[in-house]
């Protein structure tokens, strides 16, 4: 009997600039649409994923609206994907409960839409802190909701270098299927072949602080103040503020609590994965975001490559009018496309094995 031709159709909630959708697309899935409350993400999302961008609050979306986006053809696997904003689950948010209180329920909205849409496959990525979120058991409630609807669920905490992503990001990933048992594919890398900073950004032209590459407007380094230039010059390879002479150390780092932030103002190392990219990853004082050798913080292009966005990815309609602050936010908030590919491979592997059994 001839194999049936499967088409995967994806709707992405909380889509941002399309990191997750792009990764799914790279493995052959058709991206139908993405929903997000940041309207400035529209250009990047539509240009790179081919899906239509909807500027909508997920709380106002109905399952009927989403179901109308799917083709309803035979042999179509309906995938509902999403990464609810992670800020409310961060350790900072635990101390600032009022700041993101309206975002706590976004995963419940995701669950509501799963209930209304009844997709074949559900997938999600989020920060590991969601496991121990103290205000509500949001992750467990989401898993319980899926199981009550008849989904088989696999939730794993992954270390991104194990999957070829060159940063020490740890994330919770979830795949769920109406069809049968499903699981995330096993790691593709180990310590012997982790993708490194050198492999990822070592080919880029050198930059001075405040300079940009004339052929790549995203490869621009934020200008350092004179005191921060002295600090980066005093930071050895792989070092941090702990290596500075006393007169360069910030007062806050001399306090007991400040001493725990050992990586701040640090340099990356060539032959290791980078630290986790954040929305402030192009600022020297926001983490270990100093270039391994050059006296500057990493550029937005370097951050994008570390997040596994290809150099061809379009972030802005006018490449000469690039906001590094906005680019850093886009990049830091995104799901690494490579992780999207891992989720796609897990889903496709599941469907192929399911097809063999019927």
- Integer CA distances (angstroms), 272 to 62, 258, 277, in order: 45, 25, 14
The residue with tokens 């490869």 is 219
User: What is the rounded (10 degree) CA torsion for 209, 215, 217, 223?
Assistant: 10
Q: Are 355 and 179 in contact (CB under 8 A)?
A: no
Q: Are 135 and 177 in contact (CB under 8 A)?
A: no
Q: Are 48 and 18 in contact (CB under 8 A)?
A: yes
Instruction: Give the CB-side neighbour count of residue 96, counting CA atoms within 13 A.
Output: 10
Rounded to a whole number of angstroms, the CA Rg of the chain reads: 21
Strands (E), 109-184: 121-127, 152-159, 170-177
DSSP assignment of 89-122, as one string? GSHHHHH-TTTTGGGTTHHHHHHHHHHHH--SEE
- Integer CA distances (angstroms), 142 to 74, 132, 167, in order: 29, 14, 28
> DSSP assignment, residue 291?
-
The answer to whether residue 83 is catalytic is no
Other CB atoms within a 10 A radius of the CB of residue 14 amount to 26
Q: Alpha-carbon distance 246 to 79, whole Å?
A: 55
Phi-psi region of 25 (alpha: psi -120 to 50; beta: other; left: phi over 0): alpha
How many helices (H) and strands (E) are present in the chain, helices listed first?
12, 9
The residue with tokens 């986006």 is 69
Which residue is catalytic, options 86, 160, 252, 281?
A: 86
H or E stretch at 13: strand 7-13
Residues serving a catalytic function are 86
């Amino acid at each position: 009997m001839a194999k049936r031709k499967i088409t995967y159709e994806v709707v992405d909630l909380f889509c941002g600039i399309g990191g997750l959708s792009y990764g799914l697309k790279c493995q052959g899935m058709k991206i139908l649409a993405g929903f997000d409350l940041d309207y400035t993400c529209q250009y990047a999302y539509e240009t790179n994923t081919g899906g239509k961008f909807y500027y909508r609050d997920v709380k106002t979306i109905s399952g009927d609206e989403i179901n109308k986006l799917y083709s309803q053809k035979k042999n179509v696997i309906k995938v509902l994907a999403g990464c609810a904003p992670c800020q409310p689950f961060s350790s900072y948010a635990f101390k600032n409960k009022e700041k993101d209180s309206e975002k706590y329920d976004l995963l419940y909205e995701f669950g509501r839409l799963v209930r209304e849409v009844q997709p074949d496959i559900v997938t999600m990525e989020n920060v590991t802190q969601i496991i121990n979120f103290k205000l509500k058991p949001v992750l467990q409630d989401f898993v319980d909701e899926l199981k009550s609807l008849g989904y088989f669920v696999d939730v794993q905490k992954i270390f991104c270098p194990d999957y070829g992503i060159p940063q020490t990001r740890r994330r919770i990933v979830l795949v769920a299927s109406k069809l049968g048992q499903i699981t995330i594919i096993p790691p593709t890398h180990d310590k012997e072949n982790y993708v490194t900073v050198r492999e990822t950004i070592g080919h880029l032209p050198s930059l001075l602080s405040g300079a940009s590459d004339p052929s790549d407007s995203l490869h621009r380094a934020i200008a350092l103040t004179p005191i921060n230039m002295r600090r980066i010059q005093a930071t050895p390879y792989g070092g941090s503020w702990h290596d500075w002479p006393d007169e360069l150390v910030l007062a806050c780092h001399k306090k007991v609590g400040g001493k725990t932030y050992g990586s701040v103002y640090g340099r990356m190392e060539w032959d290791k994965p980078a630290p986790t990219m954040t929305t402030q990853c192009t600022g020297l004082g926001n983490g270990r975001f100093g270039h391994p050798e050059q006296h500057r913080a990493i550029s937005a292009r370097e951050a994008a490559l570390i997040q596994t966005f290809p150099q061809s990815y379009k972030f802005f309609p006018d490449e000469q009018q690039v906001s590094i602050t906005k680019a850093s936010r886009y990049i830091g908030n995104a799901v690494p496309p490579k992780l999207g590919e891992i989720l796609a491979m897990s889903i496709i592997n599941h469907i192929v094995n399911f097809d063999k059994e019927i």
